[in-house]
Structure 1
């Protein structure tokens, strides 16, 4: 019975893998479903603060990361199937997780802040120091940054999952994990509608 159960789980995971390119890998720090569920349950639910005083300039981003590279270039390198050029990256191959489109020109890609900067501001970052906001906007240690099509990133804007979700079937799981994990790591709050949407997305995860 145990062997049959293990076989079923392996077969299911392999079937899900068929929907992604072999080279695609989730951003670093992507947690398991059970871990993310605990994180979601622990997040504070409250109304968002106003946008008064907000500016993207208060979140210095794409800062230098050494060797002539900035944060954008490092994410392009990390998320590429393969790439040419160092900094700047001049060509390569990328799979946009949100809409399932493959690109070879880095100018067609945006580096998405999974939790948008304006959303972070409304959820607690308005009280942070500029240094902490810079750290958030350039966080390479967690799943806050991902290379996606410019069109999907701009369609998303600063919306939360109650009003915007990736268009590709099957992307809800990863996106919900990244959003929840980022808000948990940085101590940001949720709205009730946002939490409900995230729970629905997280329920689609197998593991």
Structure 2
């Protein structure tokens, strides 16, 4: 009987300990694991959608740059809301703790540049980049658009065409496509490729063969 009682007490202690430890372990590990799983699933779903959209894009050779001028798209940033133009609206959207002056210009804030991971605390070091560059869009079919459609493209805050980045990253990118330039941060390649494809799909711009291969390679990082 004594041996049975000791064994029973041990079994009860182990069971009680398990009831205490397991919930604590779940609390400590589940939120992080769940968030990571959710993030991975979202990235994979976005990549799958982007691949489908990419198959719907026409593949063709790049058009001539002849006739291109930034002014054909954007003589200036368009008026957006109140006193704000599109650039100012994008800067306010992407900033933390932004403060604007009476003319809507951000005079204080913190911006994160997803291309290179830089944290910027001055509006002077920040650019609003066109994910699909204007010159690249021109060669992808936009040269055949109306002036009004080109202006709408250059000021589009609805699609993922405008992103706040560091001035240095924007200069390095220039008018290049993904076959020639990619964000310095490999962790952003998935988002960059899906944004690029989303914009091109919406505006029915075509892709070159090299561009398509580069986009598919970037989507493999999702």
Query: TM over 0.5, yes or no?
Result: yes
Unpaired runs of 5+ residues, structure 1, are 1-5, 17-30
In structure 2, the residue matched to 1:93 is 110
Q: Return the offset for 1:13.
A: 4.3
- After TM superposition, the runs of 4+ consecutive aligned structure 1 residues lying more than 4 A away are 6-9, 13-16
Q: Which has the higher helix share?
A: 2
- Larger RCO, structure (CA 8 Å, separation 6 or more): 1
Q: Deviations for 1:153-203, whole angstroms, at most 9, x for unmatched residues?
A: 110000000010000130101100110100001000001011000001011
Aligned partner of 1:51 among 65, 72, 78: 65
Please give the TM-score of this superposition, normalised by the length of structure 1: 0.85
The alignment status of 1:74 with 2:81, answered yes or no, reads no
CA distance in 1, matches of 2:199, 2:32: 31
CA distance in 2, matches of 1:104, 1:153: 17
CA distance in 1, matches of 2:56, 2:33: 28
In structure 2, the residue matched to 1:183 is 200
Which is higher, the Rg of structure 1 or of structure 2? 2
> SS of the counterpart of 1:82?
strand
The alignment status of 1:164 with 2:181, answered yes or no, reads yes
In structure 2, the residue matched to 1:84 is 99
In structure 2, the residue matched to 1:63 is 78
CA distance in 1, matches of 2:179, 2:34: 32
Unpaired runs of 5+ residues, structure 2, are 1-29
